Amino acid sequence: MKCGGCERSIFNGLDTIEGIFGVAIDREHQTIEFNGPARLRPIVAAKLRAMGYPEKGSVHGLGAGLATAKSLVSCAIGRVS
């Protein structure tokens, strides 16, 4: 998460999950906070991973490279949306 495009993509992506609200992104600390039922946490984590923003330490090697590529695409989409 390096720019407003990344943030917009994350906000838009998490907005598609019913029951999630109050999303807050801290670029400096590379964290995302949200409110909603605990049962939605794995769904949120999967959504973020699919967008190229996996939980820290959850991907390695080639998976980390693919996550970076996905995040660049998500960022670009966020910049134009």
Position 31 scores a pLDDT of 94
Position 24 scores a pLDDT of 96
User: In the chain, what are the domain boundaries?
Assistant: 4-80
pTM for this entry: 0.84
Local confidence pLDDT in tens for the 81 residues of the chain:
788 898 999 999 999 999 999 999 999 999 999 999 999 999 999 999 999 999 888 888 888 888 888 888 888 888 877
Q: Is 67 exposed, middle or buried (0-12, 13-18, 19+ CB in 10 A)?
A: buried
81 Cβ contact partners less than 8 Å away, ≥ 6 residues apart: 8, 9, 12
